[in-house]
Structure formats: structure tokens, C-alpha cells
A = this chain, B = another copy of it.
Amino acid sequence: MPKMNEKELQEFLENEFVQCPILVEKVEPMGATIRQPITDAYLRPGGTVSGPALMLAADAALYIAILAEIGPVALAVTTNFNINFLRKPAPNDIIAEAKIHKLGGRLAVGEITLFSEGNPDPVAHATATYSIPPAQ
């Protein structure tokens, strides 16, 4: 059973990331889906979403999947992040689906597939590792 539901995660996010309006769409065991509304701030010339905006969405999606499992007290930090950019995204919202591969005592590892809303082919795929602080 996840330790936080969508509403609790959304409230937590809004306190932590005041500047980045990310929406929690779905939380499930060992996974989460978020939506990153795309505004002009995230667009590059030509109307495509910037690479760093995709990285932000990917990082946030896995962070939320991990928080849902370990609860809000933890201060997980990213230690490694790797992303492959696959296709030029349209200027639509980004949907990021995170899946946890391993939730260990010290490290959590997962992958994130990124979609441009309305297109079934992923625009990017990322993997990331979070360091989990020792339980107190």
C-alpha cells in the first residue's frame, strides 16, 4: 500500500516546488504518473518543449513514485539521472510515467517514459537513482 495518496502528494509538491506546477495524475504500487503543463517558459524556438523541461518532469515523476512508497518524511535526493531524447515533442503537456525497479534501504532506482499528450510514441526515456536517507 502506498503511504501517500494523490492528494497528499500534490499538497507536498506544491510546498516543495513552488515554481513548477506539476500535477499528480495517478499513484499505484511502485509507480506514478504526472502531468507537466507546458507554458511558454518551457518552449524552445520552433514550438518544441525544452530538454530541461523534460528532465524536470522525469525527475519529478520518479520522486513522487518513491515518496508514495516511503512517505513524506524522507529526503530522497537524486544521485544519477540518464535520459535519451527520442522524438521532438509537440508544444503539448508532458505526461511522465515512472516505474520503480528497486526500492532498497539505501538506493531507489527506476525508469520514466515521457509522452507528449496526444502521441502514443514516447518523446524521451529516462532512468534515475535516488539515495534514501537512513531511517531515524
Residues of A within 8 A of B (CB): 15-17, 19, 40-41, 44-45, 50-52, 55-56, 59, 77-88, 101-102, 106-107, 109, 111, 121-122, 125, 127, 129, 131
Nearest residue, chain B, Cβ from A111: B125
Q: In the complex, which residue of chain B has the Cβ closest to the Cβ of A57? A: B52
Residues of chain B contacted by A41 (CB below 8 angstroms):
19
Partner of A86, one of B17, B19, B87, B101: B101
Residue of B44, B56, B59, B129 near A84 (CB, 8 A) is B129
A46: nearest chain-B partner, CB-CB? B75
Known contacts A79-B109, A111-B111, A127-B127; 20 further A-B pairs (Cβ under 8 A): A16-B44, A16-B45, A17-B44, A51-B59, A51-B77, A52-B52, A55-B81, A79-B85, A80-B80, A80-B83, A80-B129, A81-B85, A82-B82, A82-B127, A84-B101, A84-B127, A84-B129, A101-B122, A102-B121, A111-B125
A41-B19, A55-B52, A59-B52 known; A102+B81 contact, CB < 8 A: no
User: Is A129's CB under 8 angstroms from B51's CB?
Assistant: no
